Amino acid sequence: MKYVLGIQTGHDAAASLVVDGKIVADVAEERLTRVKNDSSFPLNAIAYCLDFAGITTEDLDAIALPNEYLHPSVQVFFDISDKQLPKEKRSIQSKLKGKVLQYVMNTKRTDTVLPLYQKPLKISPTCQIILVDHHKAHAGSAYYTSGLNEERVLVVTMDGIGDSSSVTIWKGEANHLEALRSWGGEASLGWFYSNCTEALGWRHGSDEWKTMGLAPYGKTHPGALDGFHPVFKDGELVTPHEYINGGAWLDHSAYHYHFDDAYSLEPIAMRLGREDFSAEAQRVFQEQTSEIILPWLERVNTRHLCVAGGAFLNVKSNQDIWNSGKLDTQWIYPNPGDAGLAVGAALCVYYEALPDHKHELLHDAYFGPSFSNEEIQLILDQRGLEYEFVENPSSVAAQDLADNKILGWFQGRMESGPRALGNRSILMSPLRNENKDIINRCVKYREAFRPFCPSMLYEKSTDYLINSRDERFMVTSFAVREDKKAKIPAVVHVDGTARPQMVKHSYNPRYYDLIKAFGDITGEYVILNTSFNVKGEPVVCHPREAIRCFFDTGLDVLILGNYKLTKPRAPQL
């Protein structure tokens, strides 16, 4: 088995290509269609993955799907023979009965018929169509990218729900995953946190980071949210919670979810105040997550933890687990939400077919499209834009940042996952506290409380952070050293923490050189980094999207490859 294509259908649709056990291409459909959380069939993402590898669908050895059932769209868009249908397809009606109908919004059959100009994709008669349980795909994305082959590892997945599970526990050892325990919707902490997010007027399944970002501004109120969440104790579910009247609104190919708990939570949020309500929701989530993970570490007898699922985008909870002192390894797959399921399913299929092939630690997440200088120059010329060619973009950008300009930075292959990691980023100096307000107001057009992340040189990280570990993907926060808080105030949150990206030269030399040059000028080897987009839009993928964002926001400078564009004046506050 050589080529495995992973396809996530439904919420956060995506495609990934694994070749000889390694991820070579991975992209969410939203980056190519510009529809946030796009849930349409990921034709564009599939095309990119195949084009990058120089193959067609007829070269595939397997197609991996992170579901227990065969989504109807797969048979529409692929020319699949009856002999290639997985067994689960033949019992789909039984799998759609009962509570699963409430939980899985994208299982309904459609009347989709392809027009003449969209032919079904042909596959080889020997290509296998393999279904992988939703949470097993999450577990695979974490375990098979951890580099932990021989060590005994606890693997935990948590999200709203997928394939009737919301929390699952696994043991990883000898390149194999063993299921230990799982709970259904009655145990969903993800749904609890999302209901709290909806009660604050934000979008369930998309805006939970707003709740997390607001939480440090408030005070906790233990007991205020009792009865709205499941309760775990010593690794077991002791008080299930019934989530009733679940539904969804499909808006422009993106789902907006809802449960009736949000109606009751809204007046509590008004009574406590938004900040205190967020703080209590965060406290409950951290407490309950610890009650699941820490006891299972002891049961499995390990100090190595791998996690995935959208719940593990909660960086404060991840910090809480790390600070327990019970871990030597904490590996959080950098694309832990549903867009990462395509990778997880493909890795599960490959390593279950070839269990003797050892997996490697994932060093970076640059698996998306890239554009050459020639392509960029053509796009600039077609638009009649003035620009200059710069021999050393890193040095030029560092001086602009030292001059406190706001910079759009577009380089190399686009990142997979929700975080900008220095290839599709908006950058600014962290040295002035007001800079976070400038970017929120004049560039991102979002709430003032939203924090920003620091990108720092890997070897300098201990100069800035307390009790930190290797963190290259912005998925855990750490306390900032007292003597550095006033030096880099724009990237220190109100609770004294930061969510860092530690940059190594070998993984992103141009970005590393930028940070180093900025540090050589200012004395601080840290820059403010946020995703290259505005509120409510996907991160930019194509140069034309970067150009549009540049001229429609308060960015001062745009560097695309080796080409620099500037504006005549700074944004006005």
What are the pLDDT digits (tens) for 29-63? 999 999 999 999 999 999 999 999 999 999 999 99
pLDDT score, position 223: 98
Mean pLDDT to the nearest integer, 337-354: 97
Quickly state the pLDDT bin for 99 (edges 50, 70, 90). very low
SS3 per residue for 445-483: CCCCCCCCEEEEEHHHHHHHEECCCCCCCCCCCEEECHH
Q: Which residue has the higher pLDDT, 569 or 114?
A: 114
Whether the model pTM is above 0.75: yes
Give the Cα separation of 369 and 405 in Å (integer).
Answer: 27
User: Which has the closest alpha carbon to 176: 352, 362, 361?
Assistant: 352
pLDDT score, position 573: 56
Q: Which residue has the higher pLDDT, 231 or 86?
A: 231
Phi, psi of 163 (to 5 degrees): 50, 45
Tell me what the pLDDT averaged over the chain comes to. Answer: 94
What percentage of residues in the chain have a pLDDT greater than 70? 95
Sorted by where each starts, the structural domains of the chain and their CATH numbers stand as 3-135 (3.30.420), 146-332 (3.30.420.40), 373-566 (3.90.870.20)
Quickly state the pLDDT bin for 89 (edges 50, 70, 90). very low
| 91-95, 185-189, 224-228, 533-537: the lowest-pLDDT one | 91-95
Q: Which two tokens stand for residue 515?
A: 């940070």
Q: With beta carbons less than 8 A apart as the criterion, state whether 214 and 281 touch.
A: no
The letter for the amino acid at 150 is E
pLDDT in tens, 151-200: 999 999 999 999 999 999 999 999 999 999 999 999 999 999 999 999 99
pLDDT score of 101 more than 70: no
pLDDT score, position 295: 98
Mean pLDDT to the nearest integer, 248-276: 93
Give the Cα separation of 572 and 551 in Å (integer).
Answer: 14
pLDDT in tens, 413-471: 999 999 999 999 999 999 999 999 999 999 999 888 889 999 999 999 999 999 999 99
DSSP string, 65-116: ESSSS--HHHHHHEE--GGGS-HHHHTHHHHTSTTHHHH-TT-S-------T
pLDDT score, position 100: 44
pLDDT score of 88 more than 90: no
Quickly state the pLDDT bin for 94 (edges 50, 70, 90). very low
Residue 25 β-bridge partners? 17
Mean pLDDT to the nearest integer, 124-129: 96
pLDDT score, position 82: 87
Strand-strand pairing, 62-65 and 3-8 = parallel
pLDDT in tens, 134-157: 999 999 999 999 999 999 999 999
Cβ-based neighbour number of residue 58 at 10 Å:
13
Q: With beta carbons less than 8 A apart as the criterion, state whether 336 and 310 touch.
A: yes
pLDDT score, position 260: 96
